[in-house]
Chains A and B, each alone.
Chain A
Amino acid sequence: MKQYIVYSIPLAILWCFVNGDISIVNFTFGLVMSPVVIKPFKSLYNFEAEVSIRNDIRRIPKQLRYLAVLAIEITKANIMVAKIVLRPRININPGIITVPIRAKTDVGITAIANTISLTPGTLTIDVADDKSVLYVHLIDIHDREEIRASIRDDLEEYVLEALE
């Protein structure tokens, strides 16, 4: 029962945004309707996990810092790829390398993969079966170890702090 309420609040907020009208009436309507949505797709939500609201609230500053880092990285990525596109002659060295990761949970791996896809010159292709290695496509390889180190030290720290 507690899980229903916790999962209903994001759905109600989403309903407010999609409907384009943030008000108490609309939010309550979303809150009432969302268990109807959650019930058939119960297997997609992990009901076994223990929800602790206090733990979630404590993480919010770290998540905000992660979002700020993400915004800066996305802007840098766009300027870099735009430069590549605007070059008169395209000379790039693309390739696929492996990047070891430390994240263990599914949420963490998804977050790190999406973050890598949005940051400069990298694109996640697949995750290995044992969830320890990501395959990353790079648009311009100059130094393999440097890229691995930058992913491990800069991005993964924030993801681990924010989501695990």
Chain B
Amino acid sequence: MTKTTEHILPPVLERSNLLGWMRRNLFGSWIDALLTLIGVWIVYWAASGLLRWALYTAEWKVIVVNARLLMIGQYPIEQVGRLWIWLGFLIFLLGNSLAIWGRGSRIAPALLALPVAMAFIFPFGADPRKWLIAMTAIGLIGWGLGRVKPEALKRSVIAGWVISLPIIILLTYGLSKSEASIVPIVRTNLWGGLLLTFLLTVVGILFSFPIGVLLALGRRSELPAVRWFSVGYIELVRGVPLITILFMAQLMLPLFLPEGWTVDRVVRAMVGITLFSAAYLAENVRGGLQAIPKGQFEAAAALGLSGAQTMIFIILPQALRLVIPILVGQFIALYKDTSLVAIVGLLDLVGIARTVLAQPEFLGLQREVYVFISLIFWALSYGMSYVSQRLEERLGVGIR
């Protein structure tokens, strides 16, 4: 036996060299070869055109001059430190999480070094430079801590992510009305740019989550009145575009409230986004609830748990765990959808872009500004989905 197998060489095509690989993957048949040539031409055409534009034609000065406006809008400059603090907290958590769940991933240090790289590449002022360097330092500390004690930190990191949302909102909004306090209130009409986009997302996630879970439970309730109400709400909201809900929130919300109550425009948009997102979230959570086998309910009943106890301690933890990946996808979609508030006149990233393009010295630079904004949206949303995929693998969700 051994003698014969020694003489058998792998087929020529399967030998792993470049030529064999190319023949298999690029020139398998004449149609394949044609497609390859077309593909190469497309790549060359797109890449060369894009590079030529980005390096020679485009005037990136518009971004450099308006960088602060695009990032935080009119947020008072003496209060910017507060934003850096919560950003630092997020980066610390990110470093921790990458170390704990992303072991073996090489991108963690590279990702954390990004702020320093940005500080040196782009013409920032002295203050942002210092902060950016601090961000990398904080991130690396978090990463180091995570490497040293991955098991001990797990729970606190998860708790950290959960409480980071209210922390972001509180730090950005402020605590007390008096000017003398450390964190005076910054009115929402001063929020703008990426900051506003981000805050809308955070508020949307934080408030739509409990509403969504309640709606999902309501839809599966045995009480017809509750069930029909939930079904009606979910289907109504899912049947209409977000923009109509945002308009409703802007124009009709003030009418719904008693006389004398006023809600500012940003909060109205937040209400609209929350109500919209809750309906979609409810459907996702319902998917998780349906995946829980009946035996779980029966076992809980056999143990003597009440209906509410069964839900809170047995069903929801399992159901939510199952739908984590879908929920992350939902939150990424929410982040992209917040850009619609520009249509109702808020100055989020897209809204600010309009004001930037209205400056007389930057007329006609739509391509530069919108490419930059697309890049921000793309990078953050790609980053979130990448990280969530890694975490999914590590958490073992979906693979049982």
Report if A and B associate in a common complex: no
Residue positions of A touching B, CB distance < 8 A: none
